[in-house]
Structure formats: C-alpha cells, structure tokens
Amino acid sequence: MDKFSLRQFTLITFLIGLAMKMFNLPVLMLRLCGRDAFVVLLIEAAADFVLLAAVITIIVCSHGMTLFELLEKAFGGVVTRIVALVVGLFWLFKLFIMLVDVRIFFSNTVFTAPLEAVHVLPLIALLIYFALKPLSSAGRLGELFTPAVVISMVLLGALTVSKVDFGGLRPLLAEGSEPIAKGLSSLFMWFGDFTLLLMATGKADGGKKLFFALPAGIAAFACMTLFSAVLFASYGDMPELLSYGHSISNITQYAVGSFKFGRFDLLIFAMWLSAVFVSSGIIAAFFARCMNYVFGGKVGRVILIVGGAAVYVATMLTVNLNTVTEFAMVYFNIPAAIVQYGLPVVCAIALIAGSRKKYKRIKEKV
C-alpha cells in the first residue's frame, strides 16, 4: 500500500528532522559563525517548523490528490514535469551530499582510511530497492528504527549534558549580526528536509490529525538544538579544533571517565545512523517518484538506476570530501533554498488555483 499511516508519518517526520543535521552541520555552523551558530540554529529551526506546518497543511488540504496531480491540475502537465525534474535532480544531489557527509564522518571517526567502494555500493543498491517499494515500507522501517534512535538520543544526553558548562554559549552576538547573516545565507542545503514529506500528499491517513507530526518535528529540533549547544558551548573558544566529520555523536567523548567504558559513541552512532538510512531512503523514493512521473514506467526505473550509479561514481571519485561540503555551501545554497522552500509555496499556489477553478465550475453549473 503506497500510503503512510498517521503514526508512520509522525515518526518519519521525527527521523527526517534529525537525520542530515546530525553529521557535519553543527561543526560547519561553529566554524562559520562561532558561538552565534546557536542563534542561527534557532532561526533555521523556526523556519523549518514553519515549513513543516506548511507541508502538513498542503497534505491535509490536498483532498486526496497526489503531489503531481495537484500541480498538474493547476499548472498543466508540462510545467509539472519541469518542476518534478528539477526537484528530483536536486534531491539526488542532496543524497550525494548526504553520502559525502556519511563518508567524512566514517573516515574521521571510525576508519583510519576513507570508505572503500565496498561500503557504499550495497548502501546505494539498498536505496534503489527502497525507492521502488511503496511508502508503507518506509513507514514501517521508520517504526522499527525510531525506538533505536530515541534510545541513542537518551544515552547521548545522559552521558554528556550534565558535564557541560552551558555558560560557554555566551556571549551571543558579540561580533554583531554578521556571523548570523553568514550562517543563515550559507547552510540551506542542510535544512528544509521537510519538503520531502510532500511526497505523502494524498498518501497519508489521518486528515487533520497529521498536525500531530508537529510535536515530532519539535522533538527533533529539541534534540538537535540541545546536542549542538553542547558542541557550541564546549568548543566556542576553539572552533579550529573541530574538523569536518566531528559529529554530534562524538560529544560522548566529553563525558568524564568515558575512557572507562570506551568508545560508547560508536554504539550510539550505530543506532542514530538508522535515521540517516531511512531519510536517505525517502530521498531516493522521492527521486524515483519524480523520475517516474517525468519519464513514466520503465524509463523512470532506468533513470533511477542511472541516478544511483551516478551518485555512486561521484561519491567514489570525490577525493577531497571537504571541498564538496564547501561547494554545496557556496554554489548550491540558493538553489537549495529555492527548491526546498519554494516547492511548498508552489503547492500552496496550486491548491488556491485549484480551489478557484473548482469554485468557477460550481458557479457556472449554478
């Protein structure tokens, strides 16, 4: 069944809210904005919350139409195909960035040598398989993985939060608003993930109850903000100490006496990594649906495989992973903002346009 239940939708919202932000983002923010990264994070989280609310509103108001049906009805097939192509390719690129993040993390935290082909290939094969399955499969995986992710968050909090001097977050705005402007205008690639949920337009049960996913989004932001605050407070005076690949899970190493129980962070990241898997699977599914709409049946599936192969080749050919991150920040920042925050706006316009057309038809009949 190509549908999310209410519970699945809520849990997927939580996982998507966390997934991509847990890798490089806090370190990127700290290096870019210093302590003011905390302010940037709060603003971006608020923007993402508004985005989530908008996405849910669109899903609720779509009256059972799918995303492409909604756009097609308002703008016609050609425009919708163009939108689907652009959005699909963007998400494929974002999947690539996500895999680069994962590679940086693994090469920095787990393996002394970078990941070899053998590590990424099965993952991409799995993502392609995942993309071909109905939405309920992703939902079910979300149900299976969320407890592990929640446990890892609780462990992470228990091991670290009490040892941190949160006074280290101050002073905020000591260097004016420039670092904040810089942060806000550079990191769109790592935010705006909730746009993915538009895939559930017309394919989610629950009606207005879907707004229950808002607290799940808030919970994800709360986790993210708390653990990022740990990082910002601890390294506010020495951001140069952190390099790309130091992720949230590394902060378990701050725990006093953590040498006694060893690399507990590995166990924790093994659990929260499942959120990343679900999230990247949903990205692949979104790409597949876009390609399926644009090219239709078999060709769509071929494009999906070609896309997977392209991501694999690009990931393997990328020698300097940090360059990709900087590239995404500089050149793909604006496109990321346009696609991720623009698509819900386009959908909202489509809804309004659709309502007007319907209203006209009714009036004409009367």
Partner 1 sequence: MKLTRKRRNALLSGAFAIIFIMLALTPLLPEAEIGTRLMLNAVGIDTINGQVIVTAQTLSGTSSETVHGEGLRVGDALEDIAERYGREAELGHCGLLVFGYEVTADDAEFALMGLLGDAIVNAGCSVACASGSAEEFINAAVGLTSATGDGIADYAGFADTSTAVSVPSALEVLQHLKSRSATAVLPVFELTGNKGESGEGSSQNSGTDSTGVQQSGGSNKTEIVPPRRAKVLGREDFEPDEQAVAGWMWISERAEGGLTETRADLEGEEYIIQGSVTEKKRGVKVRAENGRVKAEIKLEVKLKFIDRYIIIERAEGENRLRYLAEDLEKAFERTFTDQLKAAAEECARSDILGIGTLLYRNDPSAYAAWGSDMSKVDFVFDVKVTVF
- Exposure string (b/e) for 187-217, b if CB count within 10 Å is 16 or more? bbbbbbbbbbbbbbbbbbebeeebbebeebb
Which run of H or E residues covers position 44? helix 37-61
Give the pair of three-digit tokens for residue 33. 């904005």
266 binds partner 1 (CB under 8 A): yes
Q: How many residues sit close enough to partner 1 to count as binding (CB under 8 A)? A: 36
* Candidate ranges 60-68, 73-81, 182-190, 232-240; the one touching partner 1 (CB under 8 A): 232-240
Contact between 256 and partner 1 by CB under 8 A: the answer reads: yes
CA distance 93 to 280: 11
Interface map 167-206 toward partner 1 (x if CB under 8 A): xx-xx--x--------------------------------
CA nearest to 104, candidates 20, 179, 188: 20
Residue 204, strand partner residues: 4
Q: Which of 257, 320, 362, 363 binds partner 1 (CB under 8 A)?
A: 257
Nearer to partner 1 by Cβ, of 260 and 363: the residue is 260
Q: Could you say whether residue 5 binds partner 1 (CB under 8 A)? A: no
User: Nearest distance from residue 250's CB to partner 1, in Å?
Assistant: 7
Which region among 20-28, 44-52, 197-205, 254-262 touches partner 1 (by CB under 8 A)?
A: 254-262
CB of 127 to partner 1, least distance (A): 15
Q: Among 97, 299, 365, which residue's Cα sits nearest to residue 357? A: 365
122 belongs to the binding site for partner 1 (CB under 8 A)? no
Does residue 298 touch partner 1 according to CB under 8 A?
Answer: no
204-208's contacts with Cβ under 8 Å and 24+ in sequence apart are 204/3, 204/4, 204/5, 204/6, 204/9, 204/59, 205/3, 205/4, 205/5, 205/6, 205/9, 206/5, 206/6, 206/9, 207/60, 208/60
Q: Is 43 in the site for partner 1 (CB under 8 A)?
A: no
Crossing angle, helix 297-317 and helix 117-132, to 10 degrees?
Answer: 160
Among 258, 310, 342, 353, binds partner 1 (CB under 8 A): 258
Residue from the set 127, 199, 200, 255 that interacts with partner 1 by CB under 8 A: 255
Q: Which residues contact partner 1 (rule: CB under 8 A)?
A: 108-109, 144, 148, 163, 165, 167-168, 170-171, 174, 234, 237-238, 240-243, 246, 250, 253-260, 262-264, 266-267, 270-271, 274
